[in-house]
């Protein structure tokens, strides 16, 4: 059984951990958003890849959902004494070792996909972890005065409270999917869009030329799990991202935004029990849809959510 997951950070990582618990022998490939990546203090930081690697590798700070457990911040604090870097973005000391290792390998000439594979040798995430692209595509946010700031600055520094006009990806037109990405979509038995930010995580992956078409064309069913529960994000500020692109914050609106195949990318959409009233509308519009509890409160519950998603498209062994 080959399962391909299109993921952002925390939500997608937790879902994939549940999927692995459900089907330990499945061949899982995770295509990660790298639009949040940035250069900081001369090192390449890849927030979503690292969240996936640490979560699936058993090293994540559980309460926080990202970063390393038993982390400290001495280097970051000391750098601030020089007035350098971004005082609103903290790099943990252990996390910094990952960024240093990544940067050393990038500088040696390896593409990000190979660097990611190399870092994953240590963490053994139990999945094939692929960046969406080897190219440096970064999400920037155009705010009201017309300035474009890095997504992480908008998200972390301004807590998504600066009204956003739109999101742009640098370098997008020239970007190509990383090696293995298109094949993982084409050759999958099922493709899953986990609860991830539909705009700046999944939306960015879909924007890489070729990826959306691969989803439209694959013989595998594509099933998504709504990140919007009862009209609000479960955590984070996905509502601000949806508002910026003119999409209502609701499970149905996100499904419509993704669209139904073959024009869109989804065949099936799993919503939370609180949004059960949306199921008939979704079904009337041609989707396979169902409502179940979708809060990933612990590993067993998350495995149940993964099972419900696969069952929706008859891919539960």
Query: Which residues lie near ligand GDP (CB under 6 A)?
Result: 8-12, 48, 51, 195-197, 201, 225-227, 229, 233-236, 238, 272, 294-296
Q: Choose the one of Ca ion, ligand GDP, none that binds residue 67, judging by a C-beta under 5 to 8 angstroms depending on kind.
A: none
Residue 8 binds Ca ion (CB under 5 A) = yes
**Where are the strands (E) in 162-267, listed by range?**
164-169, 190-193, 222-225, 228-229, 232-233
CB nearer Ca ion, residue 155 or residue 287: 155
CB nearer ligand GDP, residue 75 or residue 295: 295
Segment near Ca ion (CB under 5 A); pick from 34-42, 134-142, 224-232, 277-285: 34-42
* Min dist. Cβ of residue 200 to ligand GDP (A): 7
- Contact call for residues 195 and 7 (beta carbons, < 8 A): no
| Distance from C-alpha of 226 to C-alpha of 270, rounded to nearest angstrom | 6
CB nearer ligand GDP, residue 79 or residue 309: 309
Interface with Ca ion (CB under 5 A), residue from 48, 50, 275, 304: 48
CA distances (Å), 225 to each of 11, 19, 25, 205, 244, in order? 10, 13, 22, 16, 22
Q: In the complex, which residue's CB is closest to Ca ion?
A: 9
Q: Is 31 helix (H, G, I), strand (E, B) or coil?
A: strand
Q: Which two structure tokens, joined as six digits, stand for 116?
A: 């990611």
CB nearer ligand GDP, residue 5 or residue 79: 5
Q: Which of 32, 14, 29 is nearest to 127 (CA)?
A: 29
Q: Choose the one of Ca ion, ligand GDP, none that binds residue 34, judging by a C-beta under 5 to 8 angstroms depending on kind.
A: none
Residue 36 binds Ca ion (CB under 5 A) = yes
CB nearer ligand GDP, residue 125 or residue 195: 195
Residues near Ca ion, by CB under 5 A? 8-9, 36, 48
């Amino acid at each position: 059984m080959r399962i391909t997951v299109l993921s952002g950070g925390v939500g997608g990582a937790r879902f994939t951990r549940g999927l692995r618990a459900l089907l330990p022998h499945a061949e899982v490939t995770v295509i990660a958003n790298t639009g949040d990546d940035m250069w900081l203090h001369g090192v390449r930081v890849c927030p979503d890849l690292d969240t996936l690697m640490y979560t699936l590798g058993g090293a994540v700070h559980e309460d926080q959902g990202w970063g390393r457990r038993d982390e400290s911040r001495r280097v970051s604090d000391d750098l601030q004494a020089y007035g350098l870097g971004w005082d609103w973005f903290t790099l943990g000391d252990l996390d910094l070792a990952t960024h240093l290792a990544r940067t050393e390998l990038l500088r040696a000439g390896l593409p990000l996909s190979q660097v990611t594979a190399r870092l994953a040798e240590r963490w053994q995430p139990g999945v094939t972890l692929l960046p969406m692209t080897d190219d440096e595509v970064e999400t920037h946010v155009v705010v009201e005065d017309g300035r474009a700031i890095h997504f992480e600055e908008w998200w972390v520094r301004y807590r998504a409270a600066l009204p956003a006009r739109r999101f742009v990806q640098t370098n997008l037109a020239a970007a190509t999917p990383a090696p293995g990405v298109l094949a993982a979509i084409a050759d999958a038995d099922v493709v899953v869009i986990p609860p991830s930010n539909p705009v700046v995580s999944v939306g960015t992956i879909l924007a890489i030329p070729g990826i959306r078409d691969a989803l439209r064309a694959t013989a595998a069913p594509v099933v998504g799990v709504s990140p919007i529960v009862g009209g609000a994000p479960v955590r984070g500020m996905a509502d601000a991202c949806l508002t910026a692109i003119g999409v209502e914050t609701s499970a149905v609106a996100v499904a419509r935004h993704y669209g139904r195949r073959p024009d869109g990318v989804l065949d099936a959409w799993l919503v939370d029990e609180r949004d059960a009233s949306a199921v008939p509308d979704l079904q009337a519009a041609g989707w396979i849809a169902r409502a179940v509890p979708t809060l990933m409160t612990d590993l067993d519950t998350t495995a149940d959510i993964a099972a419900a998603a696969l069952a929706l498209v008859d891919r539960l062994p």
